[in-house]
Amino acid sequence: MLKILANKTYAQLFSAQIVALLGTGLLTMALGLMAYDLAGDAAGLVLGGALTIKMVAYVVLSPVANALFGRFNRKHVLIIADLVRALVALLLPFVDEIWQIYVLIFVLQTASASFTPAFQATIPDILPNEKDYTKALSLARLAYDLENIISPSMAGLLLTVVSYHWLFSGTALGFGLSMLLIIVARFPKATAAATAATAAAQKEQSFKQRLTRGIRIYLATPRLRGLLALNFVASASSAMVIVNTVVIVRSTLSGSESDVAIGFAAYGLGSMISALTLPNLLENYSDRPVMLAGAAATTAGLTLFGIYLVSGGGVGWTVLLVLWMGLGLCYSMILTPSGRLVRRSSNSEDRTALFAAQFALSHGCWLITYPLAGWLGHAAGMGVAMLVLGLVSALALMIGLFVWPRSQGADLEHSHEDLPKDHPHMKDHLQSGKGASHRHAFVIDDEHRIWPTQG
Indicate whether 4 and 30 sit together in one domain: yes
| Confidence at residue 431, expressed as pLDDT on a 0 to 100 scale | 46
Q: How far apart are CA 290 and CA 277, in angstroms?
A: 12
Question: In this predicted model, what pLDDT tens digit does every residue of 102-159 receive, in sequence order?
Answer: 899 889 988 888 888 888 888 888 888 878 888 887 888 777 777 766 766 676 677 7
Q: How far apart are CA 153 and CA 155, in angstroms?
A: 5
Q: How far apart are CA 310 and CA 417, in angstroms?
A: 57
| Confidence at residue 230, expressed as pLDDT on a 0 to 100 scale | 96
* Residue 291 within any structural domain of the chain: yes
| Confidence at residue 123, expressed as pLDDT on a 0 to 100 scale | 84
Residue closest to 400 by CA, chosen among 286, 296, 305: 296
Low-confidence ranges of the chain (pLDDT < 50): 431-434, 454-455
Where does a domain end: 204, 233, 248?
204
Helix (H) or strand (E) holding 439: strand 437-441
Indicate whether 163 and 253 sit together in one domain: no
* Residue 94 within any structural domain of the chain: yes
* Residue 312 within any structural domain of the chain: yes
Residue closest to 30 by CA, chosen among 76, 95, 82, 125: 95
Give yes or no for a contact between 139 and 14, defined as CB atoms under 8 angstroms apart: yes
* Residue 141 within any structural domain of the chain: no
Indicate whether 171 and 232 sit together in one domain: no
Indicate whether 180 and 42 sit together in one domain: yes
Domain residues for 392?
214-406
In a 3-state reduction of DSSP, which class is residue 340? helix
| Confidence at residue 160, expressed as pLDDT on a 0 to 100 scale | 75
Q: How far apart are CA 148 and CA 91, in angstroms?
A: 24
DSSP string, 11-66: HHHHHHHHHHHHHHHHHHHHHHHHHHHHHGGGHHHHHHHHHHHHHHIIIIIHHHHH
Indicate whether 173 and 259 sit together in one domain: no
In a 3-state reduction of DSSP, which class is residue 411? strand
| Confidence at residue 400, expressed as pLDDT on a 0 to 100 scale | 94
* Residue 134 within any structural domain of the chain: no
Where does a domain end: 406, 434, 450?
406
* Residue 135 within any structural domain of the chain: no
Indicate whether 239 and 369 sit together in one domain: yes
Indicate whether 258 and 307 sit together in one domain: yes
> DSSP state, 250?
I
Indicate whether 188 and 260 sit together in one domain: no
Residue 135 Ramachandran class (φ > 0 left, ψ -120 to 50 alpha, else beta): alpha
| Confidence at residue 433, expressed as pLDDT on a 0 to 100 scale | 46
**Number of domains observed in the structure of the chain:** 2
| Confidence at residue 176, expressed as pLDDT on a 0 to 100 scale | 95
Indicate whether 219 and 299 sit together in one domain: yes
Indicate whether 274 and 337 sit together in one domain: yes
* Residue 142 within any structural domain of the chain: no
Give yes or no for a contact between 7 and 127, defined as CB atoms under 8 angstroms apart: yes
Indicate whether 172 and 224 sit together in one domain: no
Where does a domain end: 406, 422, 447?
406
In a 3-state reduction of DSSP, which class is residue 413? strand
* Residue 176 within any structural domain of the chain: yes
Indicate whether 253 and 153 sit together in one domain: no
CATH number at residue 151: 1.20.1250.20
Question: In this predicted model, what pLDDT tens digit does every residue of 347-387 receive, in sequence order?
Answer: 777 777 888 888 888 888 988 888 888 888 878 888 999 99
| Confidence at residue 426, expressed as pLDDT on a 0 to 100 scale | 56
The pTM of this model reads 0.78
